[in-house]
Amino acid sequence: MHETKRDERIHEIIARLRQRYPDARCSLEYNSVFELLIATMLSAQCTDERVNMVTATLFKKYRTIEDYAKADPAELEQDIYSTGFYRTKAKNIQAAARRILEAYNGQVPKTMEELLTLPGVARKTANLILGTGYGITSGIVVDTHVKRVSKRLGLATSENPEKIERELCELIPRKDWIDFSHLLVFHGRAECKPRPLCSNCCISELCPSKLH
């Protein structure tokens, strides 16, 4: 596709999605960047809805980073049990809390390099913390919805999330990186599901995968 035509198409896709989902944002509920970090860690292999149910109680019980660092591991495991993989998640949450206290003076880091030193944090989580938590444009969050929708739109070809992120970052204007992830997540949940609802889709005529 000619570069100008391609850029116009991407601009139109983003504009239509913004119109369709004016409230597109991170669905996780939190009161601080550290709580966003915890919620994101809990969201692995778990729905945001379930995570929000768990954190509604969790965030009242554990008020500070120190509370997580000093928590009884077995008790923390039970507190997050319903999110799945609770032993690994509890271990990572505690280890991340301790590292933030010891290495970063109790402040969640603001760089990709530093965030990746935290146990349980990979690029997807780090991008979300930077973009949603701090408003820092570092990359594009690639979850299952972003992966599915971007591939259907022909914006990415890889199966690997990090390669998909690189493909998208080459195409999507940097100023739109943070919003783009949220827009694709909302669209993936509402219409571009594993079995897509193409007849309702606001960008169907811009999609090479449209089902007729």
**What positions carry a catalytic annotation?**
124, 143
3-state secondary structure of 99: helix
SS3 174: helix
CB atoms within 10 A of CB 202: 16
Distance CA 27, CA 185 (A): 10
Q: 201: helix, coil or strand?
A: coil
Distance CA 144, CA 161 (A): 9
Please tell me the distance from the alpha carbon of residue 10 to that of residue 19, in angstroms, as a whole number: 14
Alpha carbon distance 97, 118 (integer Å): 9
